Amino acid sequence: MAKEEPEQKKKVSRIKVKKKVWYKILSPALFGEKEIGEAYLVSADSAVGRKMKVNLKDLTGNMRDQNAYIIFEIKKAVANILHTRTIGYELTASFVKRLVRKSADRLDDYFTFTLKDGRSIIIKIMIITLNSTQRSTQKQIRKQIQELFREEISKLDLDGTIGSIISYKLQGESKKKLAKITPLKEIAIKYLGLATGKAQITDTVAEAVAVEKAVEETAEEMLQEASQEA
């Protein structure tokens, strides 16, 4: 009688599933290294380079700061903690709209400035005057604020610049100096971010754009004068 062959053991493939872990996300030293969120990840390395927005009010505890956001980037992981660095600042669109008044002029512009460490940043500015102003006055304001901001920002790093903005030091000091030209209601920084890659605009290009604007405005003024004389 033939012996029965032993049943072959079935091979079971086991796929190892990596377990996810909760990681705390901390703000940089500028904001007191507070916990600003959590991430549920398989590996901390996968979070490095990710960006996140946090309402400024949640960082300072001041209700007046609820109209601004700080942009962070996760730069490294130590144990179960993700550390960030500050890379930007922006105002909410709704707040910007509320600043505008019919009886005043709104001046929007953007500039590229160089920090003391050599990196470039783009700043979008909105200036609100107390009263209606002439084009020549607006030109003076644009030129003067660019010079004031460049002088101050060249002494600071990115954290120092953002710190100066959220404390209203940069805007407040500029507003006082520009009052010699015309009274201003507000100087608002709508956006600040690092200028990298295609987004980078050199000072030379920015100046060229400013010259082009001035030529167009002068041409418009000449046409208006000609039509009035006619």
Domain ranges in the chain are 21-91, 93-212
Res 48: pLDDT = 92
Res 46: pLDDT = 86
Tokens 């549920």 sit at which residue? Answer: 40
The values of phi and psi at residue 146, to 5°, are: -65, -40
83-96 per-position pLDDT tens digit = 999 999 999 999 99
Pairwise CA distance, residues 173 & 41, whole Å:
45
Residues in the chain: 230
Tokens (6 digits) for 220: 């418009």
Res 2: pLDDT = 52
| Contact assessment for residue 219 and residue 182, using Cβ atoms and an 8 Å cutoff | no
Res 79: pLDDT = 86
pLDDT > 70: percent of the chain = 78
Nearest of 59, 48, 203 to residue 122 by alpha carbon: 203
Tokens (6 digits) for 210: 């400013």
* Stated pTM of the model: 0.76
Tokens (6 digits) for 105: 């002029």
Q: What is the CATH number of domain 93-212?
A: 3.30.479.30
**List of the chain residues with pLDDT < 50:** 198-220, 222-228, 230
| Contact assessment for residue 39 and residue 82, using Cβ atoms and an 8 Å cutoff | yes
Pairwise CA distance, residues 46 & 168, whole Å:
36
DSSP category for residue 47: G
| Contact assessment for residue 24 and residue 82, using Cβ atoms and an 8 Å cutoff | yes
| Contact assessment for residue 34 and residue 26, using Cβ atoms and an 8 Å cutoff | yes
